[in-house]
Structure 1
Amino acid sequence: MKAIWKDKVIAASDNTIVVESNHYFPPNAVDQQYLVKSDTHTTCPWKGEASYYSIKVNDEQLEDAAWYYPSASEKAKNIENYIAFWKGVKVTE
């Protein structure tokens, strides 16, 4: 699987974990140069508190386009620190 935005491969892995139709990429499969930490946080009733990254390619930034669970609940420990994408980031094979 690949996560692509602005013709750049942000993440690529054969070992994503699918939860609720979202592919979660292992942290080492994500090109950190494109990630910008965000102050945004949301809470999922069963996964816990999510933290976000914006994605920056050249001079364009897509706010809060990736999320992860740094301290996932017991039910979601398998995706702890794995990163998922949305908001126009294309996730494809």
Structure 2
Amino acid sequence: MTQRQISHDEPLPACRRGHAARHIHDARRHDAGGGHLVECACSQTRKHAELDGALAEWKRMHQIRTPRPRPPANVVQLGLRLGIGARR
């Protein structure tokens, strides 16, 4: 069998309909039809040489945004702006 499901410590993001996503790896060479793909009950990505490519396509397909990391609570960020251009 050339295909196997790969488990991750953190689950992959679900699709828009809420189906659980799963990572499938086809062990054949990429040019022979192998690669990584992400699928659920209603959709799947193309096969990619790396999981990162398949996961990026999955997020685009289902409009999944990755939240920006928040700074720690003990860090103060100042709203500074760069003044580009000459003053009049």
The answer to whether the superposition gives a TM-score over 0.5 is: no
TM range (shorter): 0.3 to 0.5
Structure 2 length-normalised TM: 0.33
Higher relative contact order (CA 8 A, sep 6+): 1
Structure 1 length-normalised TM: 0.31
Structure with higher Rg: it is: 2
